[in-house]
Amino acid sequence: MSRNPKAASCRTGCKAMIRLLRLKDHSWYISRSITEHNHSLSATCGEKKQWLSHSEIDPLTKDFIRKLRENNVTTGRVCNILGTSRGVGGFPVRREVIRSVCARLAQHNIEDDISKTLTLLDKMKVDDPMMVVRYKVDEGGRIVHMLWCTGKNQQNYDRFGDAMTFDTTYRTNLYNMPFGLFVGVNNHFQSVVFGGVLLTSEKTEDFEWAFANFKDIMKGKEPMTILTDQCQGMAAAIKTTLQTSRHRWCKWHVLRKAKQWLGNVYTKNTGFKSEFNKLVTEEVSIIKFERRWRQLVRKYGVEKNKYLKRIYKHRGMWARPYFMHVFCAGMTSTQRSESANHMLKGFIQRSAPMHIFVSKFNEFQNDRIAQEEKEIHVTKQMKRKRRIGVPIERHAEEIYTRAMYDRLYNELYHAGSYLIKGRGADEAYILVHYKEDGATDEKLFLVKDSGNFISCSCGLYNHVGMLCRHALKVLMHLDRTELPSGNILARWRRDVACETGHVSGQGVETSSLESATYIQKKLMVRRVLAMAGVEGTLDESGYKEAMDALDKIISVRTTRVEEKKIELGERSEKPTSCPKRAVKKGRRQNTSLKSYKASLKEQNKRKKYEEDEISSTSDNEQVTGTRKTKALWEIE
């Protein structure tokens, strides 16, 4: 019976029971049995499984539930899967029991998280000796930042690190740490990961630590171009750490608020919307972009719109005409980082502990490697049908990957729509589209051919590293059988994995890394022998002096390495604890729902007022309300 007589309880003091006793021969017999009940009996299976005696789950099923939860299967779907696996009758356990098991598993994963994370990273280092992990810890040993790059990440960056995007995502781990992804594009036009970093905040010094350590892991190599959103902290960090890189904004982030800021002009006036989108996505000439922009804002009377003024002032950071002569491997937004973050959330459950996050991120990278190997297989084995029939098409099929060849074929197809009007003063070919020939606003393209390199005024080759339709038209006019060697970037070749050279910004391939390394080592040995005063044959005393000189070099290098670690904020000891878990925000205790909603409304009104004040004075598009903001000109 329940101890509290006023409490609701299913205890009725029922005397029904069965007693079994064991004999000496280990057999059993029923010594007593009472079959009368003083309550209603459970008739169906659904009623029976409500009793606590039906709450036991066998170890095999528990392990199955754990596997499902590790693979980001929700609790509701776990219940459905278990019910389906048992046929029509369903699983003989309540959903509450399964949720309780999932909660216990989650609690077990949280326990000793940092130790499990370090053990996992050590195991990954054993499997991948080239893997590098960098920590930043506070005085109490609590982890602040963590960056790691596998050997495959470093290999990808060495081949395809000329253009890179960086973006952060949220709600991927238990500690609400923003996760930053360094993403690029490989020779199959697939997204490749260069590294990942967990940050506790998004201030300038945090991004400086991330970029400086990433650059150090990649042996000092900086990307030619880096694309980010309009975060001021990122912009300031890039100026101090990636000084030779060209920083550009994601066009999507700049234009995503056009509907909000332009109002009825953008939503109801379809003419403005179509003209505006056509201008920002198709126009490649800087002069024409400037002229058409002025005509557009004057036509629809939006010259004083703050949003248009702001994005026009910083047009050099996002507009397509200003991108065409900057190599970006075809990227004009952080869409690849956004896409990678979206795919990553499919692998990692929300609020995952750190060791599970690292493990699932490793699985995500293995999945990307599998997709790349699939594309390599298709490129090698699938024979493509030539549809144009010119010799250049055959040569492109031999050297380029399937994805790159398909893009070049598209340019080759459209090359037939252009006419060669003649040659200019500098012997450049003048081309025009056949529909615009003779029109007042015809677009003219200048193509210069210097034998092993051909260039066009449209800037597609400088932007993507692929010949445009205008250059291909001139090559077909000259009856060329192969693409110019100076226009073939190694990063787009199908045999890029076998290439040891790298590509400069103008598309000219440098000397082999093996031969360069050999020459450097030979010169280093000569320099050491000269320091030791050895000429001609190396005797025992000369050998000893040379080794002493090397020891001095090693000691100096060790000192510099330690100084560099201090400069990068790297501590020698490993972290001993994870960051503090984020406190969930909600209604305060002893507060009525009505007053809580009123306070939220007041906070939103105050926040909106502050944003309006900032937007009227700041030149920056994206403002984070949780940190101090500055205008871009103040950061310089």
Predicted confidence band at 563 (pLDDT cuts at 50, 70, 90)?
A: low
| 554: exposed, middle or buried (Cβ count in 10 Å: 0-12, 13-18, 19+) | exposed
For range 438-458, the mean pLDDT: 87
How confident is the model over 327-379, as pLDDT tens digits?
Answer: 888 887 777 777 777 777 778 877 788 999 999 999 999 998 999 999 999 88
pLDDT at residue 503 in the model: 37
Residue 385 has which token pair? 């049908």
> Which residue, 440, 439, 442, 421, is CA-closest to 430?
421
- Angstrom distance (rounded) from CA 532 to CA 609: 72
**Given a cut of 80, is residue 582 above it in pLDDT?**
no
Predicted confidence band at 578 (pLDDT cuts at 50, 70, 90)?
A: confident
What lies within 8 Å, CB to CB, of 457 at 6+ separation is 445, 446, 447
**Given a cut of 70, is residue 55 above it in pLDDT?**
yes
How confident is the model over 452-467, as pLDDT tens digits?
Answer: 999 998 888 988 889 9
**Given a cut of 90, is residue 217 above it in pLDDT?**
yes
Q: Check: CB of residue 212 under 8 Å from CB of residue 615.
A: no
> Which residue, 613, 629, 617, 611, is CA-closest to 309?
617
pLDDT at residue 631 in the model: 47
Q: Give bridge partners of residue 511 from the DSSP assignment.
A: none
> Which residue, 384, 381, 378, 471, is CA-closest to 428?
471
Q: Check: CB of residue 577 under 8 Å from CB of residue 141.
A: yes
For range 191-213, the mean pLDDT: 92
Highest mean pLDDT range out of 73-77, 161-165, 607-611? 161-165
Give the H/E segment covering residue 197.
strand 191-198
**Given a cut of 60, is residue 507 above it in pLDDT?**
no
pLDDT at residue 635 in the model: 47
For range 38-45, the mean pLDDT: 88
pLDDT at residue 628 in the model: 45
157 Cα distance to chain centroid: 13
Share of the chain above pLDDT 90, in %: 30
For range 581-605, the mean pLDDT: 67
pLDDT at residue 88 in the model: 47
> Which residue, 628, 578, 624, is CA-closest to 145?
578
Tell me the three state secondary structure of residue 168.
strand
> Which residue, 135, 146, 226, is CA-closest to 178?
146
How confident is the model over 264-318, as pLDDT tens digits?
Answer: 777 766 688 888 888 887 787 888 889 989 998 888 888 888 888 888 888 888 8
Tell me the three state secondary structure of residue 591.
coil
| 4: exposed, middle or buried (Cβ count in 10 Å: 0-12, 13-18, 19+) | exposed
pLDDT at residue 515 in the model: 46
Report which of residues 131 and 629 the model is more confident about. Answer: 131
**Given a cut of 90, is residue 34 above it in pLDDT?**
yes
- Angstrom distance (rounded) from CA 466 to CA 167: 26
pTM above 0.75, yes or no: no
Residue 117 phi/psi, 5-degree rounding, is -65, -45
pLDDT at residue 45 in the model: 82
Residue 547 has which token pair? 């080794």
First to last CA, the chain: 77
Tell me the three state secondary structure of residue 48.
helix
Report which of residues 555 and 76 the model is more confident about. Answer: 76
For range 471-495, the mean pLDDT: 91
Share of the chain above pLDDT 70, in %: 81
pLDDT at residue 131 in the model: 93
Residue indicated by tokens 């598309």:
507
**Given a cut of 50, is residue 624 above it in pLDDT?**
no
- Angstrom distance (rounded) from CA 602 to CA 26: 76
pLDDT at residue 216 in the model: 92
**Given a cut of 60, is residue 118 above it in pLDDT?**
yes
- Angstrom distance (rounded) from CA 315 to CA 332: 13
Predicted confidence band at 506 (pLDDT cuts at 50, 70, 90)?
A: very low
For range 468-474, the mean pLDDT: 93
**Given a cut of 90, is residue 388 above it in pLDDT?**
no
Angle at 409 between CA 406 and CA 414, to 5 degrees: 135
- Angstrom distance (rounded) from CA 511 to CA 568: 32
Residue 20 phi/psi, 5-degree rounding, is -115, 140
Q: Check: CB of residue 157 under 8 Å from CB of residue 194.
A: yes
Q: Check: CB of residue 470 under 8 Å from CB of residue 447.
A: yes
pLDDT at residue 505 in the model: 36
**Given a cut of 60, is residue 538 above it in pLDDT?**
yes
| Averaged pLDDT of the chain | 81
pLDDT at residue 420 in the model: 92
**What are the C-alpha distances in Å from 347 to residues 125, 173, 341, 360?**
22, 12, 10, 6
For range 87-91, the mean pLDDT: 55
How confident is the model over 142-173, as pLDDT tens digits?
Answer: 899 999 999 999 999 999 999 999 988 876 77
Q: What is the dihedral of CA 379, 384, 389, 392, to 10 degrees?
A: 0
For range 65-77, the mean pLDDT: 87
**What are the C-alpha distances in Å from 361 to residues 101, 178, 347, 601?**
25, 14, 7, 39
**Given a cut of 70, is residue 6 above it in pLDDT?**
yes
- Angstrom distance (rounded) from CA 160 to CA 441: 39
Q: Check: CB of residue 93 under 8 Å from CB of residue 79.
A: no
Predicted confidence band at 620 (pLDDT cuts at 50, 70, 90)?
A: very low
Strand order in the sheet with 163-169: 132-137, 143-149, 191-198, 179-185, 163-169, 225-228, 246-249
pLDDT at residue 237 in the model: 93
pLDDT at residue 370 in the model: 92
**What are the C-alpha distances in Å from 98 to residues 77, 78, 111, 196?**
11, 8, 20, 34
Strands 225-228 and 163-169: parallel
